Structure 1
Amino acid sequence: MATAPAPANLPLFYKDLVPLSSVDHADFHARPLDKADFLIDQHAVPLTSDEFIAASRFYPIVFSAGENPVPLALMGLNEGMNTFVDADGKLINPVYVPAYIRRYPFLLARLRPDSDELSLCFDPTSGAVGKFDEGDALFADGKPTEPVNAVLEFCKNFEESGQRTGAFVDELKKADLLMDGEVSIQPEGSDKPYVYRGFQMVDENKLRELRGDVLRKMMQNGMLGLIFAHLFSLQLMREIFAEQVKSGKMPLVTEAPAA
């Protein structure tokens, strides 16, 4: 996630949030974005545990540093570098796109601190929602259209995935499996390795030393598979490193972003 706080404490990518209203946005349409320029300078994106298996084929999966670690899909090894999109924000190759990205510009947000009710909101600066002639109508006869209902369902599922992710991370912490991570990559023709640190990862030694009953529980509830997906995905750091070198953006010793 971004190391600098977003304006008004908004989530990553979001520059503003407006509650979707059948009155204020009765004639609004939603159109797909043909590029994601908000990704150009973003090298790490939040990931839910539900996505570990699919995402592990393309991205190194790490956990942010700090007391409340968040799973992250690395799209680059340095701040401001994303090896998966071009200068216009278009995907270079077909890859799995994390749900956090696909959710934008919509978001379920709590509008009142004294209420647990979540409302569907959107970022009006995204260029995806507005008074357009093209795209999907958001309302018909004062009621949400099917595309809006689909977005709402997606956002609800994302929130539920987030809760499962929180429980997964809590179990990792409970088992004391997270450790400060460090990956060393030896560039060709250089006498000094590139070292990536400032993130957390599962400690393989502690994983091997887990009691049988704890390991069995992790096998039964699916945690073990997620842990292995995370560990296997770390090998992809070398591929991202190579892509940065190929693009002429030689990485320096860096730290992963904190949540």
Structure 2
Amino acid sequence: MTTAQMPGQLSGNVLFYSKPEPLAKELHSNLGVKRMDGPFGFARAGHAIPLTVGEFPLAAVTGPIIFVGDDRVPIAVMGLNAGENMFVRDDGTFENGVYIPAYVRRYPFVFANDDANKQMVLCIDRNAEFITDKGYDMAFFDAAGEPTEYTKGCIEFCNNFEVERQRTLAFVQLLKDLDLFESKEANFTPTNPDGTAGQPQKIAEYFGVSEEKLNKLPADKLVELRDNGALSQIYAHIHSLVGWDRLVALAMARQAAQPQPANLNS
């Protein structure tokens, strides 16, 4: 998996990547990346970001880790509203102490499927704001048309990400085989002006590991999950679900801090 040699049609719709192009010296020899103090502005639209299983313990500190869709894709929930990441500031930086998923850190690089040639090719998002043909700090290719050390490092990162992605697919398949998934809801009960509990509101529907099913597994199966590392990742997911309360509290605090409209009747 190296730089592309002008493949056929790419397939797939990838979060954040609006104009993916196969990285090739014929197209990108005069391009590079400029350093930015706030490089994550693109992630402001990512309220739900894919995770690899090895990231679960770190991501669990920030917010809920859930599974979505028929494929049970693991997701880091970073906002309550679609298209709104609560942890990315207006200046393109993440809030202090927030885990930044590898999916975000690999941007603007990504592997894509080349269906015509049955292979994966390395692409860049040509619309990334820090890719430029003027005043860049890191070039994609050197004068001889070879990938620079910067590009080689990014290729290595993407290769490692792909390895972790495959490991995540195996982890999810294991949970499916053991029938550990169940449908879950995240709910919030607001407080009325008089201090009484309001009507519960559903925030999200998703899939998660059933603690009841997990506890009913045979002892030898639990030992197997412990020994292969899956059990600690399962508990990281389960413990992360308390993060729904954190997101709700953060949203309420920000709403309370917003300027209130003047009361014209006062």
Q: TM-score higher than 0.5 here?
A: yes
Write out aligned runs for 1:51-200 (5 A).
51-64=55-68, 66-116=69-119, 118-140=120-142, 141-189=144-192, 190-200=197-207
Write out aligned runs for 1:45-56 (5 A).
45-56=49-60
Deviation for aligned residue 1:81: 2.8
Corresponding position: 1:43 with 2:50:
no
- 1:207-241, Cα deviation, whole Å (9 max, x unpaired): 00001121111011000000000000100110111
Amino acid at match of 1:218: L
Deviation for aligned residue 1:9: 4.2
Amino acid at match of 2:67: F
Deviation for aligned residue 1:87: 3.6
The 2-side partners of 1:32 and 1:216 are apart by: 47
Amino acid at match of 1:248: Q
The 1-side partners of 2:70 and 2:136 are apart by: 45
Secondary structure of 2:97's counterpart equals coil
Conserved in 2, the CA contact under 8 Å of 1:10 and 1:16? no
Deviation for aligned residue 1:79: 1.6
Q: Which residue of 1 aligns with 2:236?
A: 229
The 2-side partners of 1:234 and 1:181 are apart by: 10
Corresponding position: 1:247 with 2:254:
yes
- 1:156-179, Cα deviation, whole Å (9 max, x unpaired): 010111000000000001100000
The 2-side partners of 1:30 and 1:225 are apart by: 38
Conserved in 2, the CA contact under 8 Å of 1:105 and 1:126? yes
Secondary structure of 1:143's counterpart equals coil
Q: Percent identity?
A: 37
Return closer, same or farther for 1:197/1:24 CA change in 2, 3 Å cut-off: closer
Conserved in 1, the CA contact under 8 Å of 2:60 and 2:237? yes
Deviation for aligned residue 1:30: 1.5
TM (norm. structure 1) is 0.87
Conserved in 1, the CA contact under 8 Å of 2:79 and 2:247? yes
The 1-side partners of 2:230 and 2:103 are apart by: 21
Q: Which residue of 2 aligns with 1:5?
A: none
Conserved in 1, the CA contact under 8 Å of 2:186 and 2:205? no
Query: Which has the bigger relative contact order, CA under 8 A and spacing at least 6?
Result: 1
Q: Which residue of 2 aligns with 1:3?
A: none
Q: Which residue of 1 aligns with 2:3?
A: none
- 1:122-142, Cα deviation, whole Å (9 max, x unpaired): 011012222122311221121
Conserved in 2, the CA contact under 8 Å of 1:138 and 1:148? yes
The 1-side partners of 2:145 and 2:61 are apart by: 43
Amino acid at match of 1:41: A
Secondary structure of 1:187's counterpart equals coil
Deviation for aligned residue 1:144: 0.8
User: Number of paired residues?
Assistant: 240
Conserved in 2, the CA contact under 8 Å of 1:40 and 1:88? no
Which contiguous aligned blocks of 4+ residues in structure 1 show a shift greater than 4 angstroms? none
Task: State the structure with more CA Rg.
Answer: 2
The 1-side partners of 2:42 and 2:240 are apart by: 24
Across the aligned residues of Structure 1 and Structure 2, the Cα RMSD in angstroms comes to 1.8
